[in-house]
Amino acid sequence: MTRAEDPVGTNPQPKVIIMKKYAAEFVGTFWLVLGGCGSAVLAAAFPDVGIGLLGVALAFGLTVLTMAFAIGHISGCHLNPAVSVGLWAGGRFEAKELAPYIIAQTLGAIVAGGVLYLIASGKAGFDVSAGFASNGYGEHSPGGYSLQAALITEVVMTMMFILIIMGATDDRAPAGLAPIAIGLGLTLIHLISIPVTNTSVNPARSTGVALYVGGWATAQLWLFWLAPIVGGALGAFLYRFIGSKD
């Protein structure tokens, strides 16, 4: 996600450095899910002082912003399979790194979901079937939006997210400000789309909580892998067109 990421075609790195990159993606995605989904589960409707939709949107943005500064120079701070696919489609990431990054991201999200479950279940009356910040459509959409609306939302929002990432990390963009633009971009995306799907734009984030809910959440999980990945690729192709130096 940041300029410190290794460009395509560099010399092979020592295995220890490669493993540190995967570890960074694990930790970064762990933080994204714990911070973003944790704010939704634990704080969104807390009696009298709940942070609400605006607070949850800001929490997701802050997780990306903080991790971009913390690990961007180590792994590029993708934290998201759709971002990794988008950067590959945009010529910024090597295909051989896709599977390890996606595995690390997904595992980090699942572990974060487990930690969040342990915390949330410590309160009397906790019911994981109520949603646990899972993404959904139809009767499981926060606003009752259809499958079609959810599909369009996730594709378009992820497309714009990748466009922001590629533009902010272009070598012609102001140096050092990419994490702020990307974090605020994700905040805006959540402000728009939480009512529709509870906002995914990130298959790992969706998986990390859906597995603990099971049932409808895992049954609808396919959409939150398909749509963000398609949107990520579209965003990359769009930026390659409008951002070309030719």
- 178-196 tens-digit pLDDT: 999 999 999 999 999 999 9
pLDDT for 3 beyond 60: no
**pLDDT value at position 16?**
85
Encoding tokens for residue 100?
Answer: 């390890």
**pLDDT value at position 175?**
86
Query: Contact 34/112 with Cβ under 8 angstroms?
Result: yes
**pLDDT value at position 11?**
54
**pLDDT value at position 219?**
97
**pLDDT value at position 45?**
80
**pLDDT value at position 6?**
43
- Portion of the chain with pLDDT greater than 90, in percent: 85
**pLDDT value at position 139?**
97
Sign of the CA dihedral with 89 first, then 8, 187, and 211 last:
positive
- Portion of the chain with pLDDT greater than 70, in percent: 93
Domain 15-242 architecture: Up-down Bundle (1.20)
Report the 3 state secondary structure along the chain.
Answer: CCCCCCCCCCCCCCHHHHHHHHHHHHHHHHHHHHHHHHHHHHHCCCCCCCCHHHHHHHHHHHHHHHHHHHHHHHHCCCCCHHHHHHHHHCCCCCHHHHHHHHHHHHHHHHHHHHHHHHHHCCCCCCCHHHCCCCCCCHHHCCCCCCHHHHHHHHHHHHHHHHHHHHHHCCCCCCCCCHHHHHHHHHHHHHHHHHHHHCCCCCHHHHHHHHHHHCCHHHHCCCHHHHHHHHHHHHHHHHHHHHCCCC
Q: Residues 6-22, buried b or exposed e (16+ Cβ, 10 A)?
A: beeeeeeeeeeeeeebb
What distance in Å separates the CA atoms of residue 158 and residue 211, rounded to the nearest whole number? Answer: 22
Query: Contact 111/210 with Cβ under 8 angstroms?
Result: no
**pLDDT value at position 44?**
86
Confidence class for position 12, pLDDT limits 50, 70, 90: low
Residue of 228 and 15 predicted with greater confidence:
228
Lowest mean pLDDT among 43-52, 64-73, 212-221: 43-52
